[in-house]
Amino acid sequence: MDEYGTDSAGVGAAPSVARLLLELRSRATIDVKPLGKALQVRPQGKTGVAVRIHPGGVDFAVDRERANDVALSMPGSFVIDPDDPDCWVSVQADYIDDNYDALLDAAAEAVELRAAGKPAPVKRVRAAAAPKAAGTSTPKTRAAAKPAPRPEPARCPKCRQYELLASGECPSGYC
C-alpha cells in the first residue's frame, strides 16, 4: 500500500471501503469486477452495475424519484446527472466514514434494484420501425452507384519518374 491508502493496482483499499464490500457480500450475493482503478459491484449473474467504487468515492444506483432525497440525507453526496434516466448518487471519499451505515443500506438497495431486473435504461431510444403491410414493397429509387475511379496522374513522358505539375512540367526541372 502506498501513502494514499491504495494498493499497487490503484484500487482503493481504505478500511471503510473494504468493510463496506465485506458487509455488502453478507447482505447480498454479488460479483465484484475490477475496471481500471475502480471496482464494479453487480448482482450475481446480472449485467447491470449497482455500485461503483473508485478513488474519488462510491457511486450507487437509485430510483430516479428517490435520488434527491437519498443525496440530501447523506452529507458529501450528490446526484451525478439528474436528467439521466440511469440515476446515480455519489458519495465523496472523505465522507464514506461519516455516511457508512446509510451508504451500506443504499448499496444493498442498489444491488436489489439491479437484481430485480431493473437494469440501466438505454440512453438513446430508437424509434420503432413502422410495420409493413403484407404484399407492399418500397420501390428502389436508385441503385447503389460506385464512385468513379480516379484517373492515374500523368507522368513525365521523358523521365517517367515524376508526376507532372498542374502546369504540365516535370518537377525535376531537367526534362
Q: What is the mean pLDDT of the chain?
A: 79
Judge whether 40 lies within some domain. Answer: yes
Judge whether 107 lies within some domain. Answer: yes
In tens, the pLDDT along 47-105 reads: 889 999 998 899 999 988 888 999 999 998 999 988 888 889 999 988 988 889 999 99
Judge whether 37 lies within some domain. Answer: yes
pLDDT for residue 10: 46
Q: What CATH number should be reported for the domain holding residue 23?
A: 3.90.1150
* Tally of structural domains, the chain: 1
Section 16-39 average pLDDT: 90
pLDDT tier for residue 2 given thresholds of 50, 70 and 90: very low
Judge whether 121 lies within some domain. Answer: no
pLDDT for residue 9: 47
The model carries a pTM of 0.59
pLDDT for residue 40: 92
pLDDT tier for residue 173 given thresholds of 50, 70 and 90: confident
Judge whether 83 lies within some domain. Answer: yes
Sheet (strand 51-54) strand order: 30-35, 38-43, 51-54, 57-61, 88-92, 77-79
Tell me which residue range forms the domain holding 59. Answer: 15-115
